[in-house]
Structure 1
Amino acid sequence: MGADCSRADRAVEEFRVYLESERRLSPRTVRAYMGDVGQLLEWMQAQGIGGWDVLTPVRIRDFLAELWDRGLSRRSVARMLSAYRTLYRFFLREDEVRESPLEPVATPKQEKRIPNFMDVEEVFHLLASPDPNTALGQRDRALLEWLYATGVRVGEAVALRVGDVDIAGQRALIHGKGGKERYVLFGRSAARALTRYLEVGWPALAGACPGPGDPVFLNYRGGALSDRSVRRIVDRHMVRVAGYHKISPHVLRHTFATHLLDAGADLRAVQELLGHASLRSTQIYTHTTRERLLQVYLHAHPRA
């Protein structure tokens, strides 16, 4: 058993090198793969399964049953199965195994999750939360206005540069996922908040005037905000105005899409503004909109 364990561990280490050297995956992605593979290997060893070549579809299903019992979501189980399929493709290539036990194992269908969103009144309270008389308050107001006005991802807001923003034209160039670029629009309220921040708050934080290549959103030391900092800022103001805690900034992206669709915006236009590669990613918001319309109808129509 000891030799088998050593061989199984060695095979996993070779897989890690493959992910880093041949696939050139990011350290974070490699850690995710290895975490998933490590869970399966630990379970195999606890079950007395001697190596990757003797793992069967039945035992894989036993392992999945344990994951369900732990309360893992379909999305998490599907991700783990994807990692194991990649692992066994590598093992097949290296003649570590003769066949993959994953072939007959179906990937669980994904749940259609309805995103959370805020109503208009909640958004207005949120946007009014920051102190307009301080540099950090001006930054927070500009950031919150920006996230709601444009629907951009947190990473896209953090990557925004001063030269990407055309305040007079009320549009900005966004550097999105996979190196894709798109333009987003924003209204007068966001334009006013950005102008105030860039003219007053930004120089106070940085000790200089902003240049085209500088990040738009700064931390208190004058450096670029991180994703984590954006989450803390949004969470702080959410707690202040609504008592919500641990709310993701992504809620503002969901809210942006839902409010546009509620007002009759074209689905493909919303898809383009969100930077979704597939229309299916945008269609999840239409369910929320239909539910809201039904509630309005039932409440307002005399014969409902």
Structure 2
Amino acid sequence: MPSVTIEEKGLSEQLEQLENSNIQNHYLEKNELNEVLTIARTYNQQYARILEFQVLTGMRIGEVLRLKTSAVSFDIALATIRQTRATHGGASQDDYEGDVKNKQSYRTIKLSQKCLLLLQEEIEINQHHIIGYPDYKDNGWIFTSKNSYKSDYNGTPLHYYSVINNFLNSFETGKITKTGHVKKIGINIDNLLSFNKHISPYIFRHTFVSHMAEQGVPLIAVQRYIGHKSGSKITEEIYTHITKKMSDTITESIDTLID
């Protein structure tokens, strides 16, 4: 087996695959992102903050939900990413922490001022719950459950699939709970949009990649920032697609070189 070599696909085949992949469905244009966040804020401002933070950092949703105050250095605007928010099958119920996806995911990233404001807003809300709700468990998590009807979960980190993904992609059931409240699982956001794309937490990470490509940030720098190893298919396809679109404006820029 060590002597066996597997050839990469030919260039023409790679280009054909890229053209047919509808890669633009994997990220949001700026106007589409604003529409999605506006809808999310209408229904749940905390979840909207999570999605906005994700798109501003390119972090995996599990990495966002695992964030603790101890992982953020507000004075120098850095976040250290070492673990991800795990299910109970991947970690004990006490810590909710699991290993990140790969060794490239162990990283420290610089946070923008907007990112810091989002974190500070969430932490301030947590402080109100620590003071006002005796059943709130403060273990340093930033994006936590704050549910007065499920006190056992107050202060625990939100879960990606059962909370964030359900919020985006499930229907409002209208079912009356035992406590007499209307149960709302989610908003089924795809049906609320003026454009046709499927919205999941992954699309916000990919949108970060597309924005960095538009800004001319080198691919290797983008990969290091988001914790992707070189050769990540989706990252490279998005980056290639965006830079290919940008190349169409080169001739216009050239014509402005000489008066």
TM tier, shorter chain? 0.5 to 0.7
* Alignment CA distance shift 1:183-1:287 (3 Å): same
* Alignment CA distance shift 1:166-1:277 (3 Å): same
The alignment-based identity, stated in percent, is 21
Q: Distance in 1 between matches of 2:232 and 2:33?
A: 26
Question: How far has the Cα of 1:265 moved from its partner?
Answer: 0.4
State the AA in 2 paired with 1:284.
E
More helix, by proportion: 1
1:271 to 205, 211, 223: 223
Output one character per residue of 1:88-132: Cα deviation in whole Å (capped at 9) or x when no partner. xxxxxxxxxxxxxxxxxx9x9795543611111222333344448
Structure-1 residue corresponding to 2:62: 155
Structure-2 residue corresponding to 1:253: 205
1:177 to 94, 97, 101: 101
Q: Distance in 2 between matches of 1:245 and 1:183?
A: 31
Q: Secondary structure at the match of 1:247?
A: coil
Q: Point out where structure 2 has 5 or more consecutive residues left out of the alignment.
A: 1-5, 83-99, 148-153, 170-186
Are 1:191 and 2:116 matched, yes or no?
Answer: yes
State the AA in 1 paired with 2:140.
D
Q: Secondary structure at the match of 2:108?
A: strand
Answer whether contact 1:203 1:210 (CA < 8 A) is retained: no
Are 1:285 and 2:238 matched, yes or no?
Answer: yes
Answer whether contact 2:209 2:239 (CA < 8 A) is retained: no
Q: Distance in 1 between matches of 2:254 and 2:219?
A: 26
Q: Distance in 2 between matches of 1:197 and 1:237?
A: 25
Q: How does 1:24-43 map to 2 (within 5 A)?
A: none
* Alignment CA distance shift 1:289-1:243 (3 Å): closer
* Alignment CA distance shift 1:130-1:122 (3 Å): same
Q: Distance in 2 between matches of 1:284 and 1:226?
A: 29
Structure-1 residue corresponding to 2:86: none
Answer whether contact 1:271 1:279 (CA < 8 A) is retained: no
Output one character per residue of 1:163-208: Cα deviation in whole Å (capped at 9) or x when no partner. 1122343221112313652112332222222211210256438937
Q: How many matched pairs? A: 194
Answer whether contact 2:213 2:243 (CA < 8 A) is retained: no
Answer whether contact 2:122 2:142 (CA < 8 A) is retained: no
Q: Point out where structure 1 has 5 or more consecutive residues left out of the alignment.
A: 1-105
Question: How far has the Cα of 1:295 moved from its partner?
Answer: 4.8
Q: Which has the higher contact order (CA 8 A, sep 6+)?
A: 2
Q: Secondary structure at the match of 1:177?
A: coil
In terms of Rg, which structure is larger? 1
Structure-1 residue corresponding to 2:157: 224
Structure-1 residue corresponding to 2:29: 119
Q: Secondary structure at the match of 1:277?
A: coil
Q: How does 1:119-138 map to 2 (within 5 A)?
A: 119-131=29-41, 137-138=44-45
TM-score normalised according to structure 1 size: 0.52
